[in-house]
Amino acid sequence: EAGVAQSPRYKIIEKRQSVAFWCNPISGHATLYWYQQILGQGPKLLIQFQNNGVVDDSQLPKDRFSAERLKGVDSTLKIQPAKLEDSAVYLCASSTSTGANYGYTFGSGTRLTVV
C-alpha cells in the first residue's frame, strides 16, 4: 500500500513569512496527526484529526499555527508568521480509527528552516 505522502520535502523561509505543508494519509485511515520534531528530540504532537474533526489541538500554538483536514482526507498545516524556533521537521502520521491500539504510519516529513 502507498505510504503517507508529504510535500514539500524541504522549505527555507525568512522569519515572519508564512508557509504551508501538505499531507495525504494512507487511504482509509480516519485519523491524522501532525508532529513537530526539533533536531535531537522526539516528535511532539501538534494536532490530531478524526475524519475532518479536531480531536486534540492542545499543543498547537494557535496564535501562529493552523491546520485543516477538509473532506476527511488530505490535510494542510500552516505557520503564519514563522519564527526562528519553528525550524524543525514536520511529520504527518495516519492510523485507523484507534491508532493507539494499531500503530501509526509516518510520512518522511517536511524539513523547515527559518532564517
Partner 1 sequence: DAKTTQPNSMESNEEEPVHLPCNHSTISGTDYIHWYRQLPSQGPEYVIHGLTSNVNNRMASLAIAEDRKSSTLILHRATLRDAAVYYCAHSGGGADGLTFGKGTHLIIQP
Window 76 to 95, contacts with partner 1 (CB under 8 A): 91, 93, 95
CB nearer to partner 1: pick between 28 and 103: 103
CB nearer to partner 1: pick between 79 and 107: 107
CB atoms within 10 A of CB 71: 7
Residue 103's contacts (CB-CB under 8 Å, 6 or more residues apart) are 95
Distance from C-alpha of 28 to C-alpha of 61, rounded to nearest angstrom: 28
CA-based max dimension of the chain: 40
First to last CA, the chain: 37
Q: How far is the CB of 43 from partner 1 (least distance, A)?
A: 5
Number of residues that bind partner 1 (CB under 8 A): 27
CB nearer to partner 1: pick between 50 and 66: 50
**What cell does 104 get?**
501509526
Among 19, 69, 107, 112, binds partner 1 (CB under 8 A): 107
**What cell does 89 get?**
521537521
Among 21, 24, 31, 65, binds partner 1 (CB under 8 A): 31
Which parts of this chain interact with partner 1 (CB under 8 A)?
Answer: 4, 31, 33, 40-45, 48, 55-56, 58, 91, 93, 95, 98-101, 103-109
